[in-house]
Amino acid sequence: MNNEKSWHSWSRNLWKTGEDRWIKRNGQDYYYRQQVVLPAIREKLSHLARIPSIIDLGCGDGYTLNELLDDQNIPFNDDICVAIIDISKKQLKIAKKLLEKKVRNLKVVKNDLNDESWTELIKGYEAPRIFMNIFVLQEMYSVHSFFSNISEVLEKDDLLLSIIVAPEFACNLSEREPKMAQIGKGANFVKDWDWAAKYPISTSPSTIYLPYFHRTMLDYKKIISKYDLRIVETKYLQVPDNQEARNIFKTTVYKEDIVGVNSSVLMCIKKK
Ligand SMILES: C[S@@+](CC[C@H](N)C(=O)[O-])C[C@H]1O[C@@H](n2cnc3c(N)ncnc32)[C@H](O)[C@@H]1O
């Protein structure tokens, strides 16, 4: 594959292949969300004075946002405006069903995050606006348009919370896991990633593969600063090192190697 369009179709097709199983994915992934992802986001949101608007960019099935909205320690306004955006109609349908029960002002938007039209839909949302973007960037064959769009809408008090698979963890996994063989090295077109792979997320033999495009933290930093944005905090996130986690992960492709290691990274991003 030697052009961006074919990598884009490769990633979309890979998603479509696993999508039905992603929706029914197993307890290991939910455990990861509960123990790693949610505490990291809760910690950032509970320090704020109030949250009148939240926008989930690449919301998937809405699980993470739904859990957050139930948290009494996060100062969401009662009449909070929520927008959920995803490229997948199927995921949005599930997310909508989950969230419409508790949010009166809900916008459901099917859009590619690289396409700037989504930015129009949230104009008028009250600040400070929280943008969430959980495990999406490493799936995108280019993140330039994404950050350009964010830069257009992000105002001084707004915050983008972006979580990605830790680049170092992905390198390590691809070295020891044959299923995650690197592909796409040495392509001769302008791209913002170094190698691509099919990222296995679940237990073999029914492993789901998601597209993975490898960028280092320095790559992200350079791209982000190009668009008048800055990373105000980078926090590596770990699966807690305990017996429960060991039991849950021992049957997956990650085995116990994921316990206690930096497996994902939270970037807090603001306008420069
Ligand atoms: C790994 S899932 C994560 C979903 C959700 N944020 C979560 O943490 O559970 C990645 C999501 O990003 C969406 N996605 C990937 N590339 C996208 C793009 N270019 N534009 C919009 N959504 C995209 C996928 O459809 C999928 O729902």
In this structure, the number of other CB atoms found within 10 A of the CB of residue 167 comes to 19
b/e for 200-223, b at 16 or more Cβ within 10 A? bbbbeeebbbbbbbbbebeebeeb
Q: What is the DSSP string of 150-190?
A: HHHH--TT-EEEEEEE-HHHHHHHHHH-GGG-EE-TT-SS-
Atom of ligand 1 nearest to the CA of 134: 6
Tokens found for residue 78: 């009662």
CA of 243 to the centre of ligand 1 (A): 31
pLDDT by residue (tens digit) across 119-142? 999 989 999 999 999 999 999 988
Half-sphere exposure of 191 (CA within 13 A, CB side): 23
Atom of ligand 1 nearest to the CA of 201: 1
C-alpha to C-alpha distance for 68 and 43, rounded to whole angstroms: 11
Is 26's pLDDT higher than 90?
Answer: no
C-alpha to C-alpha distance for 127 and 130, rounded to whole angstroms: 8
Q: List the one residue out of 146, 44, 172, 42 whose CA is nearest residue 87.
A: 146
Question: What confidence tier does 177 reach under pLDDT thresholds 50, 70, 90?
Answer: confident
| Ligand 1 pocket at CB < 6 A | 15, 58-60, 63-64, 86-88, 91, 112-114, 134-136, 139-140, 210
pLDDT by residue (tens digit) across 209-249? 899 999 999 999 999 999 999 999 999 999 999 999 888 88
Is 58's pLDDT higher than 60?
Answer: yes
pLDDT by residue (tens digit) across 137-152? 999 988 999 999 999 9
Kindly state the percentage of the chain with pLDDT values over 70: 92
CA of 86 to the centre of ligand 1 (A): 6
Question: What confidence tier does 96 reach under pLDDT thresholds 50, 70, 90?
Answer: very high
Tokens found for residue 42: 């809760």
CA of 140 to the centre of ligand 1 (A): 9
Phi, then psi, of 91 in degrees rounded to 5 = -65, -40
pLDDT at 250: 79
**What is the H or E stretch that residue 38 is in?**
helix 38-45
pLDDT-wise least confident of 63-72, 160-169, 170-179, 202-211: 202-211
**Total residues found in the chain within this entry:** 272
Pairing relation of β-strands 105-110 and 182-183? Answer: unpaired
3-class DSSP assignment, residue 113: coil
Which domains, ranges and CATH numbers included, belong to the chain?
A: 4-271 (3.40.50.150)
Is 188's pLDDT higher than 80?
Answer: no
Q: What number is the average pLDDT over the span 65-75?
A: 97
Tokens found for residue 25: 């994915």
Cis peptide before 75 (omega within 30 of 0): no
